[in-house]
Amino acid sequence: MVMYSSRTYEVRVLLASPSAPALWDYPVWQRLTPALTPLLSSVRGRTSLRMMQFDTRQHGSPNQAYVRFGPIGWNDKAHHKWTHHSPDTEQESEHWEFYSFSAWSPGPGKCRDCPPDGFMAVVNQIGADSGLSRESCRFSYTVLVAIACEIPDAATIMEKAFAALAAEIPSVLKAQTRRLWIPTSHCTRTGEFIHSLTDMDAYGAPFIAGPQHNFPPTIDILTGEWQELT
């Protein structure tokens, strides 16, 4: 587990504009996967997705409403399985509410002693549970991508992946940083604890404590040292 607090990553965050198309919509995702695949490929093993979506027809506890996809990898069959309006989900996904996913490369089962080589997390900010709508939110969802700095051609892989995301998804903020998977110190600007990248499928980004939608977003809402991208 030592490498979780010693391995350095290039990390980028995109906050999608309120009117941005859903990344989890199949036509959008299909256009992004060619550029994302190098970032989410590892010689250590296969990529694995952890997914949380809800079936709006189900009532009761959240556990009863989960859409149960089974194991999700990184291939055409898997992309068809979980995205909305794919050839396999055109009708069924009308009843799904996307909450979040994270992609680990390799999957968590191969990351007992060393965090993944590539990582991605997407968290929806709008929906019944959040109380936010496209009209009331400052950003509709978050996208975070990370790659270990020692991976061959890591900088080029990240540039291409993030350029594709930025071209496809209108945003209100784009930013980059270099950090450990689990930071060993607090944010020097705020004094706050900086969350592990493992937690990003819950938080979306390492936000400071407090509401994120009261004001137009800037890098000041992120813990750690960030550089805004244009």
Compute mean pLDDT per 10 residues along the chain, 230 residues long, and list them.
88 98 98 98 97 89 84 97 97 96 97 96 87 93 98 98 98 98 93 95 94 94 96
Please give the Cα distance from 180 to 116 (Å, whole number): 12
CB atoms within 10 A of CB 227: 11
pLDDT value at residue 198: 96
Please give the Cα distance from 183 to 4 (Å, whole number): 9
Q: Are 194 and 150 in contact (CB under 8 A)?
A: no
Please give the Cα distance from 5 to 126 (Å, whole number): 32
Q: Are 187 and 146 in contact (CB under 8 A)?
A: no
Q: Are 101 and 121 in contact (CB under 8 A)?
A: yes
Provide the residue type at 16 as one letter.
Answer: A
- Give bridge partners of residue 9 from the DSSP assignment: 148, 179
Host domain of residue 186: 2-228
Which segments of the chain does DSSP mark as H helices, in order?
A: 26-36, 62-65, 76-82, 154-168, 200-203
* Reported pTM: 0.96
Tell me which residue has tokens 């990582």.
119
pLDDT value at residue 63: 72
**How does DSSP classify residue 21?**
P
Structural domain count, the chain? 1
Residue 58 backbone phi and psi in degrees, to 5: -90, 145
Provide the Cα torsion 216, 217, 219, 224; round to 10°. Answer: 130
